[in-house]
Amino acid sequence: MGTGDVGNPIIKGRHVTKEYRSADGRITCALAGVDVEFYEGQITLLIGPSGCGKTTLLNIIAGFEQASSGTVTERGETITAPHPRRGVIFQDPNLFPWLTVWENLMFGPEVRGEDRAVAGERAATLLGMVGLTKFRDHLPHQLSGGMRHRIAIIRTLANAPDILLADEPFTALDEHTRRKIQHDFYDIVERTKKTVIFVTHNIEEAIYLADRMVVMSPSPGRIKQIVDIDLPRPRDILDLKFNEYRSLLFNLITPDVVED
C-alpha cells in the first residue's frame, strides 16, 4: 500500500449532498457537494471534528443511506444498497452472544450459501492471523474486549469483502489495547490486501494507519484537504516526521472545533 501510482478509484463520490428533515420540518445539511475518491489497495482515513459528516459519508458508501443528491459509485456502478463486497466494522463488536467465535465467523458465509470448506479454511486462516485459534469454541462473553474487537474485524473479513468500511471501531478501548489492535488491524489489512475506508476523530490513529487522509470540515461536511502520509511502516508515534503530520492535522482540524 502507499501513495504512489494508485490507478483508477474504486469508490467515487460526485457532488454528494445529504439533508435530513426533522419532525417539525427543519432541514439539516450533513454533507454539501462532496467530491471524493478512494483507491484500491489504500487505507484512507476520514477525519474531522464531530458533526462533519464522516459517518454519514461512510453510511452512504456502505449503502445504508442514500444521498439527497449527487452519486456514489463502486467501480462505476451507483451504490443503492448494502453489498457483501463492502464489509462494515462498527464501533461495537456486535458479536452474536449465543454463538461461539467459530460460529460467528461462519455465520455470514453460511447465510450466503458459500461452500463450507472454503469458508472454513478462510476463517481458520483469519483466526491464526490474530492468534486466537485456541479460542474458537469460546462465547463472546468469555473473551477480553481486545479479543472481541479482533474477532469483529476478522468476522467481517470472513465474508470476503473487497472493501472494508470501519466506523471508529476502536474508540471504546483503553490506550494500550487500542494501539495493539491498530497494529493488528494494519497487519491483517496488509496481509489480505484490502481497500479500507476508516472513520476516526483521533489524529494519532489516523497518521498511524493511513496511506491517505480526507480531512473534512463541519456543518455541513465538505472536503477541506487531502493529505498523503509518506511514512515508512511500522510507524513510530515519537518519530519527528510523525509529529510533523500531527501538527499539520491538528492545525487543520482544531479551528473547526466548536466549543459548547
Give the model confidence (pLDDT) of 34-71 as tens digits. 999 999 999 999 999 888 999 999 999 999 999 999 99
56 with 114, same domain: the answer is no
The pLDDT tens digits for 145-184 are: 899 999 999 999 999 999 999 999 888 788 888 888 898 8
Number of compact structural domains in the chain: 2
**Are residues 81 and 100 both part of a single domain?**
no
Q: Where are the alpha helices (DSSP H) in the chain?
A: 54-62, 101-111, 116-129, 145-157, 175-192, 203-209, 240-253
Confidence of residue 260 (pLDDT cuts 50, 70, 90): very low
Tell me the CA end-to-end span of the chain in Å, nearest whole number: 39
What pLDDT, in 10s, does the model give residues 188-245? 999 889 999 999 999 999 999 999 999 999 879 999 999 999 999 989 999 999 999 9
Q: Which CATH number fits the domain that encloses residue 196?
A: 3.40.50.300
Residue 8 has which C-alpha cell? 483508477
CA dihedral for 62, 128, 139, 115, sign (positive or negative): positive
Same domain? For 69 and 36 the reply is yes
Burial of 232 (0-12, 13-18, 19+ CB in 10 A): exposed
Domain boundary (160, 195, 218) is at 160
**pLDDT of 80 above 90:** yes
If asked whether residues 101 and 142 sit together in one domain, one would say yes
44/152 same-domain check: no
Domain that holds residue 116: 93-160
Residue 182 CA to residue 58 CA, distance in Å, equals 19
| Helix (DSSP H) and strand (DSSP E) numbers for the chain | 7, 10
- Do both 51 and 167 map to the same domain? yes
* 33 burial via Cβ count (<10 Å: 0-12, 13-18, 19+): middle
Q: Do 25 and 148 have their domain in common?
A: no
Does this model's pTM top 0.85? Answer: yes
For the segment 234-254, what is each residue's pLDDT rounded down to a tens digit? 899 999 999 999 999 999 998
Spatial CB neighbours of 36, under 8 Å, sequence gap ≥ 6: 12, 13, 16, 57, 214, 223
Domain final position from 134, 160, 186: 160
Cβ burial of 164 (10 Å; 0-12, 13-18, 19+) is: buried
One-letter amino acid at 139 equals L
- Whether 258 has a pLDDT exceeding 60, the answer reads no
Do 140 and 54 share a domain, yes or no? no
Say whether both 201 and 216 belong to one domain.
yes
Residue whose grid cell is 481458520: 124
